[in-house]
Chains A and B, each alone.
Chain A
Amino acid sequence: MTTSNSLVYLIALPLLGATILLLAGRRADKWGHILGTLMSASSFGVGLYQLSQMLGRSNEARPVTQKLFEWISVGTFNVDAGLLLDQLSICFVLLITGVGTLIHIYSISYMSHDHDRRRFFAYLNLFIAAMLLLVLGNSYLNLYVGWEGVGLASYLLIGFWNQKPAYATASKKAFVMNRIGDMGLSFAIMIAFATIGTVSFEGIKEHAHHTSTGALTAIGIMLLVAATGKSAQFPLQAWLGDAMAGPTPVSALIHAATMVIAGVYLITRSNFIFDAAPTAQLLVVIVGAITLLFGALIGTAKDDIKKALAASTMSQIGYMILGAGLGPVGYAFAIMHLLTHGFFKAGMFLGAGSVMHGMNDEVNMRKYGALRKFMPITFVTFGLGYLAILGVPPFAGFYSKDMIIETAFNSGGTKGIILGVVTLLGAGITAFYMTRVMILTFTGKSRWDAEAHPHESPILMWLPMAILAVGSVSSGFLLSRGDALVNWLAPLFEQHGEHEELLAPIVVSGLALAMVAIGVVVAFLKYSRQEVAAVAPENVSVFTKIARQDLMQDSFNEAVFMRPGQLLTSALVKTDEHVIDGAVRGVAQLALGSGSVLRGVQSGFVRSYAALILIGAALLIAAIWVVI
């Protein structure tokens, strides 16, 4: 364990950028985007410096800590505001600042016509700072601050164009659903404090061995709730699709590459809890598996390109959560998939943004078509991302997703077979809907609106896409070469020796590729051979209809949570009005009534008061007479 004084700059630089941009106001309009980008880039520089330092040390000395100040000190409960940069968080730091910087650059051009571009960059910087605090915090409490910070930044950015009521509603929806997850995190912290007495990662890791499984399971489940909220996992997944209301760079950065993977980070970071709580771990796997299929199914029916990608994100994070739930063998693969996904999904989102940029902000894929000729760079970068997500060798997804499928199969018993089949199925469906996106957008005949004049995006936009495309191609290979990432992360996780192999890796790869091929072929038959209608056909099967409605997730939430909640609220209001207010008013009425009765006694005549005294004296004497 090493200490360092430079960790804080990782967070401080983008935070400074956000502060300056927010406080300077319109004066910063001219140079705000450059400052924001520079701050993000310099944070990335600090991250690279930290990585180089870390590489030069032995495994044990690699984690770096920095104590900022003593935050809470109550009795035996001490929480320092401290930072921890270890092999796990450096991955996230580089992903966040790296992809973040690329998206900053992209946004300079993408948002150039928006007169609030400075504010946009301020929020982006704020997000980077909060996300870095999330992954750098050395305790759950510090993590919680960052966790709320990214929630805030996400809310502000989804509702960036809040002049449109639908967008403002979407941001509120995301915020509220995230709050449910955040409550889980706060409960987890409280349980940890109550049972273990500390909330720092290190402290809990030390005490996890002699803490009751029940408490650990409770903490684990609460952490899972938190993760489902932030990472849009079942059952708190409904907000992600609507979050696409935000500008496309936001979707790429927050709702694809970084913030939504916070749940994966949380579970991976809490490996010592989940390893000791098999029930919670099993729940993690189940949640991951459900979401994986759920997102993929939604993706097949979406005509909005961003919503299709959002569904895909949900599904891919399902893979990561599933991987993280598989225990020590899965953590590293989850992280690897997370990193590769960060590249290819961000690249594809930026590609989608580029397409929208050229098509007058049209998001309906049925009105695209044949864009390949007009946007060659976008087509190529998007295509590389497409190949990566499909898992075609040697692109990134092949290494990361295959590993998760393989681990799922090898997790043992019936569970392994079910998970393996689910992940394979997911891979097939992913291939189907991603191929659909490709075909609808870039090939076939044009189905544009009359006023559309598609054109390639400027260099500031395609350069980040190109860099991300390079990442989509190479990251998987680089990270898995000689098990680089697995070995890099190994010191953090407890190893459990060897595990039996149900299927040989080559078999799994073959199966996965076969599923992908089936998906691609089906999509080709359905969308390339036939004419695609510019307007979504209405006479479709009931399954399609349900899928178009996000598998009824909103209706479900509305029926199960919102309506009873409203009923409860109105019942409480009634109770308040009639029972509580009634009691209060009743007391007042009682006082008033008795007052108006007793007022008769207060005639104001001294003599009647004297008469009362006389009566009282007579009664007193009578009492004495009786007693004596």
Chain B
Amino acid sequence: MDAANYLYLSALLFTIGAVGVVVRRNAIVVFMCIELMLNAANLAFVTFSRINGDLNGQVVAFFTMVVAACEVVVGLAIIVTIYRSRRSASVDDASLLKR
């Protein structure tokens, strides 16, 4: 089995996540897609770690997880705040910057 297959999988998942961020309107789903992209990156890190026989990649993946957790916490809090004032979780409704 070729370890590169994991990389292909990672690229595929990342692309799916990116499309999701653009296409979906529900802010929570958008966030999940971002998580998917981060996870895809993590998979690539772990795979590189294995290819290089070096644990540094796994450490970076670990840090990515922590940062992703922080991001989720703050992001979801923002979504709740926006929902409280606008009664909507659609990212299109939060387009006040235009006006």
Contacts and interface: CB of A to CB of B under 8 A. Distances in A.
Interface of A: 602-607, 610-611, 614, 617
Contacts of B96: 604
A92 to B, nearest CB: 79
Name the residue among A603, A604, A610 with the largest chain B CB count within 10 angstroms.
A610
Contact of B95 (A605, A611, A617): A605
Contacts, number: 31
Given A606-B95, A607-B23, A614-B18, 13 more contacts: A603-B98, A604-B97, A605-B92, A605-B98, A606-B92, A607-B21, A607-B25, A607-B92, A610-B21, A611-B22, A614-B19, A614-B21, A614-B22
A614 B96 CA distance: 22
The 10 lowest CB-CB distance pairs between A and B, nearest first, are A604-B98, A604-B95, A604-B97, A611-B22, A606-B91, A610-B22, A610-B21, A605-B95, A614-B18, A607-B22
A610 B19 CA distance: 9
Interface in B41-88: none
Nearest to B92: A605
Interface string B2-39: 00000000000000001101110100000000000000
A602 B99 CA distance: 10
Contact of B91 (A602, A605, A611, A614): A605
Contacts of A614: 18-19, 21-22
Interface of B: 18-19, 21-23, 25, 91-92, 94-99
Contacts of B92: 605-607
B32 to A, nearest CB: 14
A191 to B, nearest CB: 64
Nearest to B93: A605
B91 to A, nearest CB: 5
B30 to A, nearest CB: 8
A606 B79 CA distance: 14
A614 B20 CA distance: 11
Contacts of A606: 91-92, 94-95
Given A607-B91, A607-B92, A614-B18, A602 B25 contact: no
- Interface residues of B: mostly helix, strand, loop or mixed? helix
Nearest to B99: A604
A611 B25 CA distance: 13
Contacts of A610: 21-22
A610 B92 CA distance: 12
A607 to B, nearest CB: 6
A611 B96 CA distance: 18
Nearest to B27: A606
Contacts of B97: 602, 604
Nearest to B23: A607
A264 to B, nearest CB: 78
Nearest to B96: A604
B94 A602 contact: no
A617 B14 CA distance: 12
A388 B97 CA distance: 93
Contacts of A617: 18
Nearest to A611: B22
A462 B2 CA distance: 128
A603 B98 CA distance: 6
A565 B73 CA distance: 75
A136 B19 CA distance: 91
A493 B9 CA distance: 107
Contacts of A603: 95, 98
A617 B91 CA distance: 22
A3 B95 CA distance: 86
Given A607-B91, A607-B92, A602 B98 contact: yes
A7 B99 CA distance: 77
Contacts of B94: 606
Contacts of B95: 603-606
A125 B21 CA distance: 88
Contacts of B91: 605-607
A606 B93 CA distance: 10
Contacts of B22: 607, 610-611, 614
A225 B92 CA distance: 78
A614 to B, nearest CB: 5
A611 B19 CA distance: 8
A607 B33 CA distance: 13
A600 B96 CA distance: 15
A604 B98 CA distance: 4
Contacts of A602: 97-98
A610 B91 CA distance: 12
A606 B33 CA distance: 14
Contacts of B99: 604
Nearest to A599: B98
Contacts of A607: 21-23, 25, 91-92
19 contacts: A602-B97, A603-B98, A604-B97, A604-B98, A605-B92, A605-B98, A606-B91, A606-B92, A606-B94, A607-B21, A607-B23, A607-B25, A607-B91, A607-B92, A610-B21, A611-B22, A614-B18, A614-B19, A614-B22
